[in-house]
């Protein structure tokens, strides 16, 4: 999803790994969708959904959280851009065969997650600066919790998916802040537990759970300092391709489904 290159309140780490992450996310997402919506049993692609197909979403969420923390001055503006992609993709996405009559695509999940993450980061700063009283904290938390509960029934990946970006932001921020004391290390470990727990809850099969957790853990490793060792991507993702691929690949799949008579709403 798109991002703006600007300084944030935290010192900016290297984002070179996201150049590789973009290619990996698009490739695994496309394979997953081809296997899920187009492939027949004769293709022998049933294994994709529970293996490489489980890489894309946590990787997208991790990159959105990373850019929301380090590469944009305005996470709300960043969320709006992601939402625009989701709005464009929604019509072809709705033609995909699925059990739910109506569902909002992954861009809505990422957008709402980023907004929740921005609120969470602001909340932690206000609490650290002692600028937030308990009544206001309780009111804001209740409002966000209600929004999360309602939205979770309508977006792709549901309630767990909505938590991925804000929990990534919490963990990545704490890992990046670092510290050598025992307390600081314990705080970093504690910040990673919620995101790893959510990643483990997101899928049904053991293989899918393992790959989702492994992808999530890889992003956390980047935040812990591994980002310094990752070189720039050999081939940089063209910005227009990055912005257009999600709605574009759904448009192609939808056209094939309409042509074959397998679309959800022909």
- Provide the 10 A C-beta neighbour count for residue 190: 12
Rounded Cα gap, residues 75 and 56, in angstroms: 21
Using one digit for the tens of pLDDT, what is the confidence trace for 24-35? Answer: 999 999 999 999
- Is pLDDT above 80 for 216? yes
Q: Which residue has the higher pLDDT, 123 or 56?
A: 56
- Is pLDDT above 70 for 6? no
For the record, the structure tokens of 262 come out as: 């397998």
Give which of 28, 126, 113 is closest to 66, Cα–Cα.
113
19 close to 236: Cβ distance less than 8 angstroms: yes
**Sequence spans of domains, the chain:** 16-260
- Is pLDDT above 90 for 261? no
- Is pLDDT above 60 for 266? no
Rounded Cα gap, residues 92 and 89, in angstroms: 6
pLDDT at 132: 66
Give which of 18, 60, 61, 15 is closest to 165, Cα–Cα.
61
Q: Find the distance separating the first CA and the last CA of the chain, reported in whole Å.
A: 29
Paired residues of 223 in beta bridges: none
Q: What is the CA angle 52-53-55, rounded to 5? A: 70
Using one digit for the tens of pLDDT, what is the confidence trace for 102-157? Answer: 999 999 999 999 999 999 988 877 776 666 667 777 888 899 999 999 999 999 99
Rounded Cα gap, residues 151 and 160, in angstroms: 11
pLDDT at 265: 60
Q: What is the pTM of this model?
A: 0.90
Cα pseudo-dihedral 256, 259, 264, 265, rounded to 10: 130
Average pLDDT over residues 58-83: 95
């Amino acid at each position: 999803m798109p991002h703006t290159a600007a300084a944030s309140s935290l010192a900016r780490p290297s984002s070179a790994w996201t150049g590789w992450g973009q290619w990996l996310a698009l490739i695994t997402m496309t394979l997953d969708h081809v296997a899920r919506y187009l492939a027949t049993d004769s293709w022998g692609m049933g294994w994709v959904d529970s293996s490489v197909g489980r890489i894309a979403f946590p990787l997208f969420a991790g990159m959105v959280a990373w850019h929301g923390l380090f590469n944009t001055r305005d996470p709300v503006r960043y969320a709006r851009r992601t939402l625009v992609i989701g709005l464009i993709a929604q019509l072809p996405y709705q033609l995909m065969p699925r059990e739910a009559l109506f569902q909002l695509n992954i861009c809505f999940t990422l957008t709402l997650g980023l907004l929740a993450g921005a609120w969470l980061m602001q909340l932690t700063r206000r609490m650290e600066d002692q600028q937030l009283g308990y009544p206001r904290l309780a009111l804001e938390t209740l409002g966000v919790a209600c929004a999360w509960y309602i939205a979770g029934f309508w977006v792709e990946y549901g309630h767990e998916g909505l938590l991925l970006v804000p929990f990534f932001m919490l963990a990545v921020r704490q890992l990046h802040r670092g510290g050598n004391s025992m307390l600081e290390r314990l705080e970093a470990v504690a910040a990673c537990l919620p995101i790893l727990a959510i990643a483990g809850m997101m899928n049904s099969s053991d293989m899918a759970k393992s790959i989702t957790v492994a992808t999530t853990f890889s992003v956390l490793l980047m935040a812990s300092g591994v980002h310094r060792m990752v070189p720039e991507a050999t081939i940089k993702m063209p910005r227009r391709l990055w912005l257009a691929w999600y709605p574009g690949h759904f448009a192609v799949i939808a056209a094939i489904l309409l042509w074959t008579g397998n679309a959800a709403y022909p």
